[in-house]
Amino acid sequence: MGRLIGTVTKVVGAKSQVMSAGQPYRCDLRARIFRRKNKRLAVGDEVEFSVTGEPEAGTKDDEGVWVAEAREGEGVIEAVRPRRSALRRVRDFKRDQVICANLDQVFILVAVHDPPYKRAFIDRLIVACERDAIEAVVVFNKLDLCADDYAELVAEDAAVYHALGYRTYLSSASSGLGVDELGLAFTDKISAVVGPSGAGKSTLLNRLCPGEDLRTGAVSESDGRGRHTTTAAELMPIPAGGFVVDTPGLRGFGLWDLDPSEVASGYRELIDLSCKYRNCLHRSEPGCAAAAAVESGEVDEERYESYLHLVEELLQDDEGRQNQRRR
């Protein structure tokens, strides 16, 4: 039997599930792969595998109910292709705790109301995406819940991100606004959806992957415990093509260790400022160009404020840690 190329969707111990052309295969990993590099297979990895057992597609009736059970194929992973990106749990490159390999984009989903979004929250997640070189997309959801004048303000906020080169969507699961367009943006990519509890993540994921057993709704976001107690990520196939990663580990996304200089490089509009010092943190150092850029409108004021806030917070954390060590 031949070799196929597929995407790892689940890793459980030494076994993994690999999807190839819409068919699942249960695969073993050739032991020598990764051993030398001290790496581990992660969901999202693109692999070459040899088929040792063909899958049975099974059949569904008109209502999508299985009438003949589907059966996974079997295979052995022979090679893992180089990763385009790696979303890590912690910044510990030695331990290589990759939550998801080859993640293409992160949808930052916020609601205009119930709960209302905070720009600083969006900015923080964008910094995390920039650090791992993953595309950030900003979605303002529940547009049906706001009046026209507020909707205008939301559109202005969206324009700020759009001007920085991020794709943005205004959507409403209730009225259907932007829903098709947003759905298309997931096709043939590996995506993650992050955002505050109640913003509409499960609603969106359920529409993208109908019938999948979504963990997002099953796990309480506050403590991460629930029906599924493992923290391993899984990729859910999207019928139209592509995958969505579903993992409790993503809930802390953006709250991970960042250092202040990484924050500075996570704000695109601040990277090319002509400050006097190359490592300028833009906190009114001599020769800093940030204030003038805000004044001229080149840098959005609220973005700059959220930036300063985030940097201060991190510097304080650092100080706190150092004091603790001294004691």
- Choosing from 290, 293, 294, 299, the residue that interacts with Zn ion (CB under 5 A) is 290
Assign 9 to helix, strand or coil. strand
Nearer to Zn ion, 72 or 305 (CB): 305
Instruction: Give which of Zn ion, ligand GDP, none residue 280 binds (C-beta under 5 to 8 Å, depending on kind).
Output: Zn ion
What is the three-state SS of 231-296? CCCEEEECCCCCEEEECHHHHHCCCCCCCHHHHHHHCHHHHCCCCCCCCCCCCCCCCCCHHHHHHC
Task: Return the residue of 17, 282, 294, 311 that touches Zn ion, per CB under 5 A.
Answer: 282
Could you give the CA distance from residue 166 to residue 126 in angstroms, rounded to a whole number? 9
Binding of residue 23 to ligand GDP (CB under 6 A): no
Per CB under 6 A, 212 contacts ligand GDP: no
Under the criterion CB under 5 A, does residue 275 sit at the interface with Zn ion? yes
As measured in angstroms, the least distance from the Cβ of 145 to ligand GDP is: 5
Distance of alpha carbon 221 from alpha carbon 115, whole angstroms: 14
Q: Is 294 in the site for Zn ion (CB under 5 A)?
A: no
Q: Cα separation of 58 and 269, whole Å?
A: 52
**Cβ proximity to ligand GDP, 198 vs 252, nearer residue:** 198
**Closest distance of CB 197 from ligand GDP, Å:** 5
Residue 192 contacts ligand GDP per CB under 6 A: no
Contacting ligand GDP (CB under 6 A), which of 23, 52, 174, 231? 174
Residues 124-163 that bind ligand GDP (CB under 6 A): 141-142, 144-145
The DSSP 8-state label assigned to residue 102 in this structure reads S
Backbone φ, ψ for residue 116 (5° rounding): -70, 145
**Residue 209 found at the interface with Zn ion (CB under 5 A):** no
CB atoms within 10 A of CB 319: 10
Distance between alpha carbon 80 and the CA centroid of its chain, in Å?
A: 22
Answer for which of 191, 216, 247, 306 binds ligand GDP (CB under 6 A) is 216
Site membership for ligand GDP, residue 215 (CB under 6 A): no
Q: Is 251 in the site for ligand GDP (CB under 6 A)?
A: no
Nearer to ligand GDP, 98 or 173 (CB): 173
> What is the number of other CB atoms lying within 10 angstroms of the CB of residue 194?
20
Both tokens of 225, joined, read: 């415990």
Task: Catalog residues that contact Zn ion under the rule CB under 5 A.
Answer: 275, 280, 282, 288, 290
